[in-house]
Amino acid sequence: MLRFDALQAIYPELENRIVVTIMGAVAAELYTIGHRPSFFYLEHAMGLASSMGLGIALSMPQHKVIVIDGDGSLLMNLGTLSTMARYKPGNLLHIVFDNESLLSVGGFPTATATGTDLAGIARASGVPSVMEADTLESLARSAHDALASNTLTTIVSKVEAIGPKTFHMDLPLLENRFQFKRALEAMKKQNEG
Ligand SMILES: Cc1ncc(C[n+]2csc(CCOP(=O)(O)OP(=O)(O)O)c2C)c(N)n1
């Protein structure tokens, strides 16, 4: 499965929601499919997209938050799974695209290429719902079911280590940061009013 196709398959679940992605290839792919002001592409802070998503989910319980993570990033911050599991926000969906590679910096193999099982680690960390989805249909269904279930869910999806030709996004980090903040404030206000 190509991650680009996987993102397209779940895009209907993403487009009107709060989304936080890791940097690099997957950010550029989602941006190309269709940027929204409520999408934030976390540059530089590798491993912390799930931590940021957790904070947003806890502070905006009326809104669903989706984190798009990578195997290399998650392996760098495995403690995030136990922290997520400790607070269990039902409005948080954590999707990990596992390409067994640090694709964005040249494609070096990660520990999932040599047997590390991220879904198993998520389960053992106490994440209440953990799914594995390796086809477009099962991924789209899992994402839909997870969002409907109001249960903290991690979905691990194996994808090919293939990314876009360029990671260029016509959206500087600061612009994305201000736009995202305003989008979340507007969502909060809408919910109050
Ligand atoms: C602390 C830190 N270390 C290293 C990097 C360089 N870096 C940027 S993206 C990336 C690889 C991310 O791998 P993964 O999460 O598996 O996503 P993929 O690139 O495969 O889509 C690395 C090592 C960084 N930005 N920050």
The tens digit of pLDDT for each residue in 166-178 reads 999 999 999 999 9
Residue 155 has pLDDT above 80, yes or no: yes
Residue 70 sits in a domain whose CATH number is 3.40.50.970
Task: Tell me how far apart the alpha carbons of residues 47 and 52 are, in angstroms, rounded to a whole number.
Answer: 10
Question: What residue owns the CA closest to ligand 1's atom 7?
Answer: 105
Which residues span the domain enclosing 158? 3-192
**How many Cα atoms are found within 13 Å in the side-chain-facing hemisphere of 143?**
27
- How many domains would you assign to the chain? 1
Percent of the chain with pLDDT over 90: 98
At residue 117, the pLDDT reads: 98
Q: Ligand 1: distance of its center to the CA of 62 in Å?
A: 31
**How many Cα atoms are found within 13 Å in the side-chain-facing hemisphere of 158?**
10
At residue 191, the pLDDT reads: 84
Percent of the chain with pLDDT over 70: 99
5 CA to centre of own chain: 15
Question: What residue owns the CA closest to ligand 1's atom 2?
Answer: 46
Question: What residue owns the CA closest to ligand 1's atom 17?
Answer: 70
Question: What residue owns the CA closest to ligand 1's atom 26?
Answer: 46
What is the pLDDT of the chain when averaged over all its residues? 97
Q: Which of 57, 132, 126, 59 is nearest to 93 (CA)?
A: 57
Tokens at residue 86, please?
């400790």
Task: Tell me how far apart the alpha carbons of residues 76 and 48 are, in angstroms, rounded to a whole number.
Answer: 9
Q: Which of 4, 39, 3 is nearest to 158 (CA)?
A: 3
Residue 33 has pLDDT above 80, yes or no: yes
Query: E strands of 92-164, at which residues?
Result: 92-98, 101-102, 108-109, 129-132, 153-158
At residue 192, the pLDDT reads: 83
At residue 131, the pLDDT reads: 98
Q: Which of 5, 34, 6 is nearest to 19 (CA)?
A: 34
Q: Ligand 1: distance of its center to the CA of 46 in Å?
A: 6
Q: Ligand 1: distance of its center to the CA of 72 in Å?
A: 6
Q: What sign for the dihedral angle of Cα 54, 22, 156, 120?
A: negative
Section 13-30 average pLDDT: 98
Residue-wise pLDDT for 52-110, tens only, equals 999 999 999 999 999 999 999 999 999 999 999 999 999 999 999 999 999 999 999 99
Q: Ligand 1: distance of its center to the CA of 21 in Å?
A: 12
